Amino acid sequence: MENFLKIINGEIPSVKLYEDSKCIVILDINPVAKGHCLVIPKQVYSTVGECPTELLSHLFEVVKLVDAKQRKVLACTATNIFINNGKAAGQEIPHLHIHIVPRFENDGKKVVAKHDEYEKGEMLILGQALKI
């Protein structure tokens, strides 16, 4: 059984901040910043694409609650909210979870790495291919 399920089942200790029938919120044990939280669905879905839209919507309602609480309690001026959606994106545990990282002006933390650059005309071609 993977670690998130063990946390959900109370087999591994965690600092739970919120729990309902669909998800839990815990403090990340390897935080980017103090107060870094994870919103984790109780049912296992590896990626966003596998997660039912109704559940994903609920998870983001909880994300909004966490964001508001971090801003109030930690007095952070911003947050990073992100999902590592697959192994190539840095997902270490194949159980969808959403990170909420409190941020402060000039905190020196980087969540996004180096940016790519498009070749001339490449952006328009790719844009056409990716249209939904």
Q: Known catalytic residue: 97? A: yes
Side by side, the strands of the sheet bearing 78-82 are: 16-19, 23-27, 37-41, 98-103, 78-82
CA-CA-CA-CA torsion for 68, 74, 75, 80, nearest 10 degrees? -60
* 101 beta partners: 80
Whole-number Å distance between alpha carbons of 100 and 60: 11
- CA contacts within 13 A on the Cβ side of 60: 10
End-to-end CA, the chain: 37
Q: Which of 36, 58, 95, 97 is catalytic?
A: 97
Q: Which residue numbers are catalytic?
A: 97
